[in-house]
């Protein structure tokens, strides 16, 4: 993925970051994205999603059990800053984190679908299922190769969210249970909704 900074400077991020975030998880990835940033100042309208260990004293924590299961907190600052959210290399890095999670959940879905059968045939071999998996794989490749800039960044994050919903459906009813690992896709969509500015 390539990041275009507002000054026109182009910085290439290493594509291995997507693979790295497959295993690190959302809380660790978000901590890396936010490293060195003052979330009170940058959080849009005084709202931020932060790793639990980074939640500041005196901030109001908005209860959300699914977010908490991912090791994150929704924080509402009593004195909101004027921040506009994540832009540039931080927004692109958040996209990499989300793509890594999406890839990991797709792997889990394929493993699940390979072990279950319908009419004596593994679910993964059914045309509609195989087509959905192929579409997400294509989206992953295209999104990871996309040139990121702040004008189209919200659209890229929305495409990651849409692919995440497709993967969630591959888990069937399991995909809607709060303690299932696929919850990371719900929470990553929430993180993007809060941190990524819409233009």
**164-180 residue pLDDT tens:** 999 999 998 887 888 88
The CATH class given to the 88-195 domain equals: mainly alpha
pLDDT for position 192:
96
Strand pairing partners for 72? 51
- CA nearest to 73, candidates 198, 194, 196, 197: 194
pLDDT for position 16:
53
pLDDT for position 13:
41
Strand pairing partners for 147? 2
The DSSP element (H or E) to which 2 belongs, if any, is strand 2-4
Output the CA torsion 177→108→169→183 (10° steps). Answer: 40
Q: Where are the domains of the chain?
A: 88-195
- The residues, ordered by sequence, that sit 6+ positions from 18 with a Cβ below 8 Å of its Cβ are 1, 96, 99, 100, 103, 144
Look-up of token digits 């699914």:
66
pLDDT for position 66:
94
- From residue 183, alpha-carbon distances to 3, 130, 136, 155 in Å are 28, 22, 17, 22
pLDDT for position 4:
35
Coil, strand or helix at 178: coil
User: For the whole prediction, is pTM greater than 0.95?
Assistant: no
Residues of the chain with pLDDT under 70: 1-16, 199
The single-letter DSSP state of residue 145 is T
Query: What are 88's two structure tokens?
Result: 């540039």
Q: For residues 135 and 32, what is the distance between their CA atoms, to the nearest angstrom?
A: 29
* Segment 124-149, tens digit of pLDDT: 888 898 999 999 999 998 888 888 88
- From residue 146, alpha-carbon distances to 9, 87, 123 in Å are 16, 16, 31
């Amino acid at each position: 993925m390539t990041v275009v900074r507002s000054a026109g400077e182009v910085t290439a991020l290493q594509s291995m970051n997507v693979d790295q975030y497959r295993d690190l998880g959302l809380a660790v990835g978000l901590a890396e994205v936010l490293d060195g940033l003052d979330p009170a100042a940058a959080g849009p309208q005084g709202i931020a999603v932060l790793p639990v260990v980074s939640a500041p004293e005196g901030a109001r924590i908005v209860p959300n059990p699914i977010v908490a299961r991912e090791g994150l907190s929704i924080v509402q600052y009593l004195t909101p800053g004027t921040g506009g959210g994540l832009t540039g290399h931080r927004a692109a890095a958040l996209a990499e984190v989300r793509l890594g999670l999406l890839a990991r959940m797709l792997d889990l879905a394929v493993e699940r679908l390979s072990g279950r059968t319908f009419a004596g045939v593994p679910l993964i071999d059914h045309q509609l299922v195989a087509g959905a998996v192929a579409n997400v794989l294509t989206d992953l490749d295209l999104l990871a190769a996309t040139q990121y800039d702040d004008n189209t960044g919200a659209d890229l994050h929305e495409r990651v969210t849409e692919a995440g919903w497709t993967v969630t459906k591959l888990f069937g009813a399991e995909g809607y249970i709060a303690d299932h690992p696929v919850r990371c896709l719900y929470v990553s969509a929430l993180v993007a909704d809060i941190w990524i500015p819409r233009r």
